[in-house]
Amino acid sequence: MDSGAFKGSMPKELVEMPNEPPPEDQSWVPNEHQINRQRQKVDEKFGPGAWRKVEDKIKPHRCNPHLQDFLISISYYPFNYAKFSAYILFQCFRSEVGKEPKRFMLNPNTGEPFEKKL
């Protein structure tokens, strides 16, 4: 197959991808100014204090710490402890509220158990 024919069928964006990373101002993490501007828009649209009413109701999932432990365990190679942390994560998903399993994580470097506080 001629590479020219293949190149012609591909979208131009895929063929001519820039080698440099995007500028830092396109970061997905909002800065304080963007958050304040969004807060002001919400308060103008839904009335004063609307942002705070919603913000107080948003809470992380009860198994969020177990998920963080699992993500840390799969970020180290070899994935020796990923199976164990996934097991505890799914135990947490199946458990009742207030009866979550104890947070337990093995240190990927030593294999010793330790409590991880994120």
The tens digit of pLDDT for each residue in 40-59 reads: 888 888 888 888 777 777 78
Give 17-37 pLDDT, tens digit per residue.
Answer: 444 444 554 555 667 888 888
**What are the DSSP calls for the chain, one per residue?**
--HHHHHHHS-HHHHS--SSPPPGGG-SS--HHHHHHHHHHHHHHH-TTHHHHHHHH----TTHHHHHHHHHHTTSSS-TTHHHHHHHHHHHHHSPTT-PPPP-EE-TTT--EE----
Query: Is the overall model pTM greater than 0.85, yes or no?
Result: no
